[in-house]
Amino acid sequence: MFALQSHRDDLTRLEESDRLRGLRTRAGVDFASNDYLALASSDRLRAAIAHALDRGVSIGSGGSRLLRGNDCEHEQLEAEAAAFFGTQTALFFSSGYAANIAAFSSLPQRGDLVIHDELIHASAHDGMRLGRAQYVSAIHNDVDAFADAAKAWRRDGGTGQIWLAVESLYSMDGDLAPLPELVALAADLEAMVLIDEAHATGVFGLNGLGLAEPLHALPNVISLHTCGKALGCEGALLCGPAPLREFLINRARSFIFSTAPSPLMAVAVREALAIVADEPERCESLWQLIRHAELALADCGVARTGSQILPLIIGNDARTMDLAASLQVAGFDVRGIRPPTVPIGTSRLRISLTLNATPSDVDQLASVLKAAL
C-alpha cells in the first residue's frame, strides 16, 4: 500500500505548483521543435535511409562500439564530420546528453577547474557531477565573471587545467555567447574551451558550421554538435584536437558502456551534413523567417534575440501554461517552459522558428498571441 508513496507525494506537489509535466503528441503548426531547417522529414534523408537498407546496412548496431557495435558507417560519419567542421577528429554519440556526460565527466581531471556559464545545459551539469574536477558557475555571458573565478581559484592554490564551458546559443533565452572574448580569455589563462553548439549547428556560421566556426581548428577548443536539432536526425558529434577521440573511447563511460547508435542514423547524419552544405537556401529562408517574426511579434513583447529562439517571459507558472494551452487550441504548437528548466520567476513561452512554419503562420500566431495576452 505504501509503495512509491513518496513519489506520489512529489507528483502532487508538482501539480499543486503548476509544474507537473506530461507527454503530448505533435499537433498544430510547429513553433516548438528544434527542427530548424525542416530536415527531419526531408526527402533526401528518407532516400539515404532507403538506399542504406537496400545495400544491407544494419538497423541495430548489436552492441557497444568497443565490442561488435562499431560499424564502417560510424567511422565514415566521423571522418566526414571532422572534415566538415574543420577539426582534427570527431566521435559520434547516441545523443547530446550522452556526449555532454562524456565530455564533462572524463575530460577535466582531478585537480582541474571547470568554469561554466550558469545557464549551460542540464546535461553539462550532470556530467560535472559525475566527474573528478572542481566546478563553479559564472554569471551568464559575463566574461569578467569567468576571469574572476579563474583568478580566485589560482589565488587559492589551484594548479590544474582550467576549462571554460558555454553554449554558443542558449536554448531557452536565444542569446549568443561572447565567444571571441571567451577564447581570448582562454588564451590568457592557457585554458581549454568546451563549446556546446547544439542550437547553432546548421543555422549559424559559414555553411552552417556554427558560431564557433572560426575557432574549430584551435588546439584548445572542443565543440559539441548535436544531430537532433537543425540536422533533423539523432545523436551528437564531439569534435576537437586529435587526442580527444582516443581518450573518450578509453575513458568516457557513457560511450564505453552504451550500445552504439544505429548505423542507419550515421547514414542519416552524413546526408544531413551534405544537405546543409548543398542547400544554403534552407538557412537563408530560416533567416528571412526570423527577421519577419521579430517584426510580427514585437507588439506581443517578444524581444529580438538575434536567433531562431524567441522567448516571451511571463513569470507566473500557471499563467504561462494557460497561454500555451490557448495557443495550442488555436492550432499553434507553442510550449510553456517552467522551473527548473528556467530560473524561478522566469516561466516563458519558447517560440522556436523552423521551416515547418511560414511567414503567414507567424502572422496568425502573432494575432492570436496578442489577443490572448
pLDDT digits (tens, 9 = 90+) for 328-344: 999 999 999 999 999 99
Give the residues across from 332 on adjacent strands.
Answer: 29
**Residue pair 265/235 in contact by the 8 Å Cβ criterion:** yes
- The CATH H-level superfamily of 20-41+280-372 is Aspartate Aminotransferase, domain 1 (3.90.1150.10)
Question: Residues with catalytic annotation?
Answer: 34, 121, 167, 171, 196, 199, 229
* CA-atom Rg of the chain in angstroms: 21
pLDDT of residue 233 exceeding 90:
yes
Matching residue, cell 525542416: 38
For domain 57-277, is the CATH number 3.40.50.300? Answer: no
d(CA 262, CA 87): 24
Residue 320 pLDDT class (50, 70, 90 cuts): very high
Every domain of the chain and the residues it spans: 20-41+280-372, 57-277
Q: How confident is the model at residue 22, as a pLDDT?
A: 85
pTM of the shown model: 0.94
Residues 250-284: pLDDT tens digits?
999 999 999 999 999 999 999 999 999 999 999 99
Rounded average pLDDT over 187-202: 98
**Residue in 23, 46, 24, 13 with CA at minimum distance from that of residue 233:** 46
